[in-house]
Amino acid sequence: MKIIHPLPAGIKEQAPTAPATRAPGEGAPKAAPGLVGSAGAEVQLSATAASLRTSAAPAEFDAAKVERIAQSIAEGRFKVNAEAIADKLIANAQELLGKVQR
């Protein structure tokens, strides 16, 4: 199961801007579309970060499953399977590293 977080409140995606003109020898990494916060500060994503963000599949949401888990937590029946969580974290990290290295 992949968890994809939406942008935080007050942050919106901004269309790509033309790269700034730089003097020779002042090479900078190519930036992806920026994000603009409510205070007007702009953040540039690297090309790799932008590709990871846009290549993610849409998140699946099962409201009934969430309700069942919430109910079991409320009733004290929910048990954390640390081994399963660790296995999935490792698998997700390996998948992410595979995307970055290609």
Q: pLDDT digit string (tens) for 47-62?
A: 888 777 776 666 788 9
The two counts, helices (H) then strands (E), for the chain are 3, 3
Is it the case that residue 33 has pLDDT exceeding 90?
no
Mean of pLDDT values over 12-27: 54
Q: What angle do CA 28, 33, 38 make, to 5 degrees?
A: 110
Residue 90 confidence class, pLDDT cut points 50, 70, 90: very high
Whether residue 78 contacts residue 72, with contact meaning beta carbons closer than 8 Å, is answered with: yes
Name every residue whose Cβ is closer than 8 Å to that of residue 69 and which is 6 or more positions away in sequence.
78
What pTM was estimated for this model as a whole? 0.32
- Cα(17)–Cα(36) distance, rounded to whole angstroms? 12
Residue reference for tokens 């599949």? 57
Supply the mean pLDDT for the chain: 74
